[in-house]
Amino acid sequence: MSHKYDVIWSYVAEDDLRNIIEYIAEDNPDNASKVFKKIKQKVSSLYILPERGRIVQELRDQGILQYRELMISPWRVIYRISGKSASVLSILDSRQNIEDLLLKRLINSKL
């Protein structure tokens, strides 16, 4: 029997998704709806088997192994498994330099 995990969205990930959908909707509201459903459906699948996502390559190269990602081209959904939860942390555009995006977020984050 498969394990069941809680899927928890961070505020940052929710903002990322909102920004993606709003940007797409400016030109194509129908496509924005399809993208929203596709991302939500794929992320919801973490409920059953969150380990299937690959370790984030840029972080693996630095010895950081606890972050995984789902690819929903062209986006990368970054998440972390902790106990019985999969926490969705961010949705990033894979066409951009991920290391720069993550560094910018760390610098701009409030503790």
Q: Which amino acid is at 35?
A: V
Residues 50, 5 contacting (CB under 8 angstroms)? yes
Whole-prediction pTM: 0.85
What's the CATH code, domain 6-108?
Answer: 3.30.2310.20
d(CA 12, CA 89): 7
Concatenating the DSSP letter of every residue in 72-106 gives: ETTEEEEEEEETTEEEEEEEEETTS-HHHHHHHHH
Between the CA atoms of 67, 38, 23 and 106, what dihedral angle is there, to the nearest 10 degrees?
A: -10
Q: What is the pLDDT of residues 44-97, one digit of tens each?
A: 999 998 998 999 988 888 888 999 999 999 999 999 999 999 999 999 988 877
